[in-house]
Amino acid sequence: MLTGIGLLLLFGYIGGKLVSKAKLPPLIGMLLVGVALGPYVLNWLDGDLLTVSQDIRTFALIIILLRAGLGIKKNQIRQVGMIALKIGSIPCILEGITITALAYYLLNFSFAEAGMLGFIIAAVSPAVVVPSMLDLKEKEYGEDKQVPTLLLAGTSIDDVFAITLFTFFLGLGTSSQGTSIAFELASIPFSIIAGVLGGVVIAFLATFLFKQFDKKYVEKLLLLLAAAILFVELGEYVGIASLLGVMTLGFILLERIPEHTAHFTQSLAGLWIFLQILLFALVGAEVNIEVALEAGIIGLMIIALGLIGRSIGVWIATMNTELNNKERLFCMIAYTPKATVQAAMGGIPLAMGASQGATILALAVLSIIVTAPLGAAAIYATAPKLLTQGKK
């Protein structure tokens, strides 16, 4: 397994540097390295590494979401709060419904299997969007209207909606007992509120504890990461938006103990240099190109039409806001990448015995191949043209 990690780090770093020479985001090179080294191309990675791949990727997401929270101030949350809720729900629902309808009528899926496909693909990727938005925040693109902060907050909410509705359709299609869509929809606000409250509780406990001993910032960060990891694991078990809670944790700490957060942010930035390579390379390793090709032209059409539905949702969500048309267009572009949820959940319907499970997996993989690199490149290419850059 250590050999595989070494290969991913070495070639992922080289791949990122080579791609950045072409004025593209380094994560594209890291993704491609993961595809090449993964089990479906060169097969140079140990099976044990692929077994723990999901846990490594989750840890990397915890790091980047904590960094995101540590960079968000109270006035920024007030500025984007309600818009973030709309942009985290309306686009996801419209894309999911669009793909569900297309799969039902074009692919002759059952209603349940069409819904599974719709809301697997509907999830936007925090693995791509969050690092990109943090980078734009550091360069002060869109900071006058908090566009990166809006998209950071909306991404976590988006995934709550997508995963919850996918779970409903999965239960509908694979359980003889069935499930209630009203219950699943009612659980969404509970999941969001519980995740935020959990992050707040941990933040206040951490604030109290950290004030009991001076400095030792590395030890405090160790305790903070341990608490965040355990909270995310608990959240997955009981069904709350724990990743949103991790971002909330960082936000509260910035307000309560700003003298600590500067040290935390610096340490996490160093850790992220290492973890981002593993995150994107391991996402790439999940990609089976042969399975993606099986989806064919009709698969590309379904994904493209789903993105149109999502873009309409973003336009609706940002109506009557202070965002101008260029900034709204950027939000549409920034919400196109797929990777995290599709890699993690694309194979679940097949494992659960869904008759169209193989096709669902193929379309999920295809959505990663098409949207992750193109979406990431489009974010960086359009930000200077569509967003206002502040002056440090």
The answer to whether 287 and 34 have CB atoms below 8 angstroms apart is yes
CA-to-CA distance for 308 and 302, rounded, in angstroms? 10
Is residue 210 a part of any domain in this protein?
yes
Looking at residue 179, what is its pLDDT?
59
Of 138, 25, 20, 156, the closest CA to residue 80 belongs to: 156
Q: Tokens 């909410």 appear where?
A: 157
Q: Tokens 């109506």 appear where?
A: 319
Is residue 9 a part of any domain in this protein?
no
CA-to-CA distance for 316 and 47, rounded, in angstroms? 45
**Longest CA–CA separation in the chain, Å:** 63
| 141 three-class SS | strand
CA-to-CA distance for 116 and 74, rounded, in angstroms? 37
Is residue 111 a part of any domain in this protein?
yes
Report the CATH number that the domain containing residue 232 is assigned in CATH. 1.20.1530.20
The answer to whether 360 and 6 have CB atoms below 8 angstroms apart is no
Residue 141: phi and psi, rounded to 5, are: -85, 130
Is residue 1 a part of any domain in this protein?
no
Is residue 169 a part of any domain in this protein?
yes
Of 303, 286, 299, the closest CA to residue 359 belongs to: 299
Number of domains in the chain: 1
Looking at residue 299, what is its pLDDT?
93
Is residue 321 a part of any domain in this protein?
yes
Q: Tokens 């942010």 appear where?
A: 265
285 burial level (CB within 10 Å; 0-12, 13-18, 19+): buried
* Cα 276 to Cα 58, 59, 295, distances in angstroms: 11, 10, 29
Walking along the chain (392 residues) 10 residues at a time, the average pLDDT comes out as: 94 94 85 92 92 88 90 82 91 97 94 95 92 92 92 91 89 67 78 92 94 84 95 87 91 91 90 90 85 85 97 96 95 94 86 88 90 93 93 60
Is residue 100 a part of any domain in this protein?
yes
Residues in the chain: 392
Looking at residue 320, what is its pLDDT?
92
Is residue 144 a part of any domain in this protein?
yes
Instruction: List all residues 6 or more positions away from 123 whose beta carbon is below 8 Å from its beta carbon.
Output: 92, 158, 159, 162, 163, 166, 338, 340, 341, 342
Q: Could you tell me the residue range of the domain that residue 246 belongs to?
A: 52-386
Looking at residue 177, what is its pLDDT?
53
The gap from C-alpha 277 to its chain's centroid, in whole angstroms, comes to 16
Residue 125: phi and psi, rounded to 5, are: -95, 110
Looking at residue 63, what is its pLDDT?
92
Sign of CA dihedral 128, 131, 137, 138: negative
H or E element that contains 15: helix 2-21
Looking at residue 86, what is its pLDDT?
95
Of 300, 279, 235, 287, the closest CA to residue 56 belongs to: 279
CA-to-CA distance for 142 and 270, rounded, in angstroms? 25
CA-to-CA distance for 103 and 187, rounded, in angstroms? 26
CA-to-CA distance for 86 and 99, rounded, in angstroms? 20
Looking at residue 89, what is its pLDDT?
94
